[in-house]
Homo-oligomer: A and B are copies of this chain.
Amino acid sequence: MKLENDLLLRVARGEQVARPPVWLMRQAGRILPEYRALRASLSGFKELVETPALAAEVTLQPVDILGVDAAIIFSDILVIPEAMGLTYEMVEKRGPLFPQTIKTAADVDQLLSGEAAAAELRYVYDALAITKKNLAGRVPLIGFAGAPWTILAYMVEGSGSKTFSKARKLLYREPALAHLLLQKITDTTIAYLKQKVHHGADLIQLFDSWAGILSPAQYRTFAIPYLRQLVVALEPLVPVTVFAKDAWFAVPDLAELPCHVIGLDWTQDPREVRNRIGYGKALQGNLDPCQLYAEPAEIHRVTTEMLKAFGTQHIANLGHGVYPDTPLDGVRAFIGAVKAYRY
């Protein structure tokens, strides 16, 4: 189906456009009253993730209500460990929790991987298919997954953590086992994302949420090679965005990946990054999510400044997921400023 608004894909592919496309990480979520109403009627977060019609419904909400230039399928990066055999719980106000974690080679051996694991995630593919149908070509649909290092971090640590010291300890003490696990995660994620594309994803974003906790040397050893496998497998199908949060040191390595888009967090200066990596790839980001707490006029001003700093080949977004208590007026001011902008 031809898209009515394909700004996102044209910028990802390096085409010239009149203004940047805009969407927000976590746009389908607690910022919208319509989401909170639906969520309150359910048993929990996982019911929403695992019920295709509901996941599709909340995926469409920001397109209908906020007028963003892309939808991103409502899901969670932790469906991958679960498909591999590690169930997770989502604990209210605390985040994800894995009752069982990976400790030994036997634990890694027992994990399902590749297409067999990806086949467990039928509900995600169904959600994509429903979303795609109901979008009716209005805007592109983004699919996503966690980067292999970030998924390993949760599988070994068992929850969020300030230091992820258990996960990082594995890299230092049992590097061979870490590589084995990363390869299984990568194989599963490739099979999963190919299915996502098959069911309607027009672009894939890889979230390396815990990238910034590794040293540059560790990141080159344990993260980049698996990101490369993913990008090489997917880029023949759709454009890929790599977002390695807080990994400012990895930008030159990311720039050498054959992906089309690099996501930036709000600590990065768009002009400096562009000077460093040249004009081959689109950049996505990077307003501080806290900026949306300011007055709308101020948000308009700083968003416009940001757009100027990025120049062309830019996908406007925040530098991280939108915070749940962000005022809708702030979100609208951000989106409005991008849509009013012209190169």
Contacts and interface: CB of A to CB of B under 8 A. Distances in A.
Contact of A165 (B169, B249, B267, B289): B289
A35 interface: no
Q: Which of A160, A248, A320 has the most CB of B within 10 A?
A: A248
A269 interface: yes
A24 to B, nearest CB: 15
Given A172-B290, A172-B294, A173-B293, A267 B215 contact: yes
Given A173-B293, A294-B173, A218 B165 contact: no
B293 A323 contact: no
Contacts of A325: 165
Given A160-B162, A173-B294, 14 more contacts: A163-B320, A163-B323, A165-B289, A165-B323, A168-B290, A171-B290, A172-B290, A172-B293, A216-B269, A246-B246, A248-B248, A248-B267, A249-B267, A249-B269
Interface string A165-177: 1001101110000
Interface in A159-209: 160, 162-163, 165, 168-169, 171-173
Interface residues of A, number: 31
Contacts of A214: 267
A148 B228 CA distance: 41
Nearest to A293: B169
Contacts of A123: none
Contact of A218 (B268, B288, B289, B323): B288
Contacts of A212: 246, 267
A45 interface: no
A291 interface: yes
A288 B323 CA distance: 30
A297 to B, nearest CB: 13
